Structure 1
Amino acid sequence: MRQVGVVGLGGMGIALAESLLDAGWPVRCYDIRTEPVATMVARGAEAATSPRALAEASDVVLTFLPGPTQVRHVALDPETGVLAGLRPGGAMLDMSTCGPRLAEVLGEAFDAAGRRYVDCPVSRKAPHMTVLVGGPAGVLGADEEVVAAVSRVIVHCGRRGAGYAVKLLNQQVKYSWYLASSEALLVGSALGLDAETVATAIEESSGSDSGFSTAAEFFRGDAAGIAAHAPASTIEKDLALAEAMAAEAGVRSRLLSAAVDFFVTVGGTPYRGRPYPESSALLQELRAMPPRTGESP
């Protein structure tokens, strides 16, 4: 049975280590804090004195760390890092949330040393994680059995760094949606509406789930799905009414204002009479950034 190391015992790392133990995997843990390590030892894990020592005794090392600085240090520190201790054939699977450029740096270092590194950020806690793998199907090799044992689903995102990238896109959607929802509930409160009633009503309506799925229809090329939606002119009207209502309540919703501005722009184009998801084509033009100085278009 493969020996599994876990570095980083925050909430996500503890859930991971506990789930691995529950699934029957031998687990060795490391964290800069002694308390969570002691807790996991009491649950049946072994302790390591450093990421390097943990890697020396592990076939695969799973890291759950606060961000890129910590991941780079844990991976590459020449004295205490994972790469310095990892055995031939061993792998580091990073489940932290980082940017795709870090995957390039770490991947090159691990490749040069004849070891394996894969970005594997996650959504939700173990054993119900969605794991976003930076590579094609098969890139995890024998380690996929370990990951699958504590996950709900594994998505192979295509290339190194793509796991990190997709996780950041998920965060963009999740927290932008949160902010838009919070602003809407704030308007409702200012209007004197009951928060429980408003929340329940929206949860049972399209506002709670169709924003992302509708955008995805366009990028997936789902012509039938796109055609089923209202024209952009209807959305322009609806959002203008919503903005006017918010203004009367004395609330400024920044995300609502941005949506209004976009659909007003759409209203001045041929997309006005088309199903509103088609306006994503215009969005691509409006949101495209010009090349930096010295870069080719």
Structure 2
Amino acid sequence: MSWTGIDGTRTVGVIGLGGMGTALSRELLRANYAVVVHDRRTERVEEIAAAGADVADSAARLAEKCRLVITFLPGPAEVEQVLVHDAASVLSRARAGTIVLDMSTCGPDTATRVGAAFDAAGCVFLDCPVSRKAPEMTVLIGGEPGVLGAAETVLADVSRTLVYCGHRGAGYATKLLNQHVKYAWYLAASEALLIAREWGLDAPTVAGAIEQCSGGDSGLDTAAEFFRGDTSQMATHAPASTIHKDMRLVERLAVASSISSPTADVVADFFERVAETSYFERPYPESTELLACLRRQRPSSDVRKGGAESRSRSTSA
């Protein structure tokens, strides 16, 4: 089923014309959608208008013209203001049945609050943060398959991959975890290359070598083996005792280079703890069970129920 807007045309609204929103707007135009845009920065609006988009002078006016609205905004405060709280917000003029897909990076609590406001108005809000720009986007959808309805065809036309993450807020949460993995890997890699440079090694050569070794993988696949229960694949990895030995040597290398490496320290400290357990001679991915015990700050059921959010609200009341 293809998407049609209020007047029967393939109309899509886009709010926020930074790099991501601009790329999406251009791809929508290339896919022959009628595009209505809004951004407070007129130079960005003019650029997309010249490419064929219509322009709305407020989020509210855009909502009057579009039954499907996609937003790219700086953060949680802007999302709530533009969609709900501003006098000229999207919700102030949205018709019942309007669908808003927010592609910003926010926390699940934002999805809870904004989603509740949209539910009360008979509209649909979905957290749909993205990785990469259109048309190579991966869209992380806070809902089950089918939740987008006909709007799924729009995203399919301008994205590489659609991932249904399970429930409201799950899209936002998954994007934040992607950021965690990406930038933790970046930080560890940068610290390693600083150590290389201090040792008089050519950092680009070391980076190229690591790319061809196991260090060139982020570790995500190995971690996922544990959560998939893939015991046969986990069994192919080195025992934790080997990693323990290696990380002690890494720490010595860092100390001798006079470079502090907190990421190496954290890894070494963890495998010191593993050395005290029965996981020490088992394939190292199995030690994830110990990691879960060490890192858990409160019962997991409390997390699922949004314990942190409810506590923060009661504290501020």
Q: For the superposition of Structure 1 and Structure 2, which TM-score range results when normalised by the shorter chain?
A: over 0.9
Conserved in 1, the CA contact under 8 Å of 2:185 and 2:218?
no
| TM-score (normalised: structure 2) | 0.91
* In structure 2, distance between residues paired with 1:185 and 1:46: 48
Alpha-carbon shift at residue 78 of structure 1 (Å): 5.3
Alpha-carbon shift at residue 2 of structure 1 (Å): 2.7
Once the two structures are superposed, the pairs formed by residues 64-143 of structure 1 within 5 Å of their partners are 64-77=72-85, 79-143=87-151
**Greater shift after overlay, 71-80 or 143-152?**
71-80
- Structure 1 moving runs of 4+ over 6 Å: 291-295
| Equivalent in 177, 189, 193 of residue 169 of structure 1 | 177
**Greater shift after overlay, 275-284 or 207-216?**
207-216
| Equivalent in 2, 13, 19 of residue 10 of structure 2 | 2
* In structure 2, distance between residues paired with 1:144 and 1:10: 23
* In structure 1, distance between residues paired with 2:34 and 2:212: 44
Q: Which amino acid aligns with 1:240?
A: R
1:222 aligns with 2:213: no
* In structure 2, distance between residues paired with 1:129 and 1:210: 20
Q: Which amino acid aligns with 1:247?
A: V
1:184 aligns with 2:196: no
| Equivalent in 267, 288, 292 of residue 296 of structure 2 | 288
Identity score, percent: 56
Alpha-carbon shift at residue 257 of structure 1 (Å): 0.3
TM-superposition CA deviations, 1:189-222 (whole Å, max 9, x none): 1111112211110111111115111011101111
> How many corresponding residue pairs?
295
* In structure 1, distance between residues paired with 2:265 and 2:115: 42
1:155 aligns with 2:196: no
Q: Which amino acid aligns with 1:155?
A: V
Conserved in 2, the CA contact under 8 Å of 1:2 and 1:60?
no
When residues 210 and 32 of structure 1 are mapped into structure 2, their CA distance, relative to the original with a 3 A threshold, is closer
Match of residue 234 from structure 1: 242
Conserved in 1, the CA contact under 8 Å of 2:131 and 2:139?
yes
C-alpha RMSD of the superposition: 1.5
| Equivalent in 2, 14, 18 of residue 22 of structure 2 | 14
Q: Which amino acid aligns with 1:4?
A: V
Conserved in 2, the CA contact under 8 Å of 1:118 and 1:133?
yes
Alpha-carbon shift at residue 252 of structure 1 (Å): 1.1
* In structure 2, distance between residues paired with 1:35 and 1:210: 39
Conserved in 2, the CA contact under 8 Å of 1:2 and 1:59?
no
Match of residue 67 from structure 2: 59
Q: Which amino acid aligns with 1:281?
A: E
* In structure 2, distance between residues paired with 1:249 and 1:264: 22
Alpha-carbon shift at residue 22 of structure 1 (Å): 1.2
* In structure 1, distance between residues paired with 2:34 and 2:211: 42
Conserved in 2, the CA contact under 8 Å of 1:30 and 1:54?
yes
| Equivalent in 241, 244, 252 of residue 260 of structure 2 | 252
| Equivalent in 246, 251, 254 of residue 243 of structure 1 | 251
* In structure 2, distance between residues paired with 1:14 and 1:37: 9
* In structure 1, distance between residues paired with 2:86 and 2:176: 29
TM-superposition CA deviations, 1:118-146 (whole Å, max 9, x none): 00000011110000000000001111111
Unaligned runs of 5+ in 2: 1-8, 300-306, 312-317
* In structure 2, distance between residues paired with 1:228 and 1:221: 14
* In structure 2, distance between residues paired with 1:213 and 1:143: 32
Q: What's the secondary structure of 1:137's corresponding residue?
A: coil
TM-superposition CA deviations, 1:48-104 (whole Å, max 9, x none): 010110011002000000000000001103521111122222111000000001111
**Greater shift after overlay, 155-164 or 207-216?**
207-216
* In structure 2, distance between residues paired with 1:288 and 1:76: 35
Q: Which amino acid aligns with 1:129?
A: M
